[in-house]
């Protein structure tokens, strides 16, 4: 499956799609990039006169690249186009540096396990200076909606 095909199968659209590019994909992990547009809705008030990206959005970016995109890759041919269902089951993140508007981040994810359609990964996010922004562990259930019918 190509990088573009994986991105097209993500169950998100703008303004809630936080994946620009996937650059490295294997059965053991994935990495990709996202640039936060300066006119993103969440900067209007977070924080007044000093906008930074909320931690929940950083977590979502890590989950979209590091968990959902990897899960789509792992499901591969079993996945019917536009049929992925996702449910976050746990997250534990540590935030170390702020991410400002227009900053490009890189997310790196390492699979811890994938069984019974539950995927658990270690994720790390780096800023443009290759400084660690946040890291943690994310887990979720990936379901082929076609199987639910």
pLDDT attached to residue 16: 95
DSSP helix/strand/coil, 76? helix
Q: Which domain holds residue 41?
A: 3-148
Position 29 confidence tier, pLDDT thresholds 50, 70, 90: very high
Q: What is the reported pTM?
A: 0.92
The enclosing domain of 90 has a CATH number of: 3.10.129.10
Q: What would the pLDDT profile of 10-26 be if each residue is shown by its tens digit?
A: 989 999 999 999 999 99
3-state secondary structure 124-135: EEECCCCCEEEE
Total of domains in the chain: 1
Burial (CB count within 10 angstroms: exposed 0-12, middle 13-18, buried 19+), residue 116: exposed
Percent pLDDT > 70 in the chain is 91
Both tokens of 83, joined, read 């049929």
pLDDT attached to residue 83: 62
Average pLDDT over residues 65-89: 79
């Amino acid at each position: 499956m190509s990088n573009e095909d994986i991105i097209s199968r993500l169950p998100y659209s703008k303004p809630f799609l936080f994946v620009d590019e996937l650059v490295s994909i294997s059965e053991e992990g994935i990495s990709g990039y996202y640039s936060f547009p300066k006119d993103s809705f969440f900067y209007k008030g977070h924080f007044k006169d000093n906008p930074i990206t909320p931690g929940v959005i950083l977590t979502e970016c890590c989950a979209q690249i590091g968990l959902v995109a990897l899960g789509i890759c792992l499901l591969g041919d079993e996945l019917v186009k536009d049929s992925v269902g996702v449910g976050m089951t746990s997250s534990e993140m540590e935030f170390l540096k702020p991410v400002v508007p227009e900053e490009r981040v890189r997310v790196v994810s390492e699979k811890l396990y994938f069984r019974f359609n539950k995927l658990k990964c270690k994720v790390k996010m780096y800023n443009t200076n290759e400084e660690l922004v946040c890291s943690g562990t994310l887990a979720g259930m990936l379901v082929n909606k076609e199987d639910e019918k």
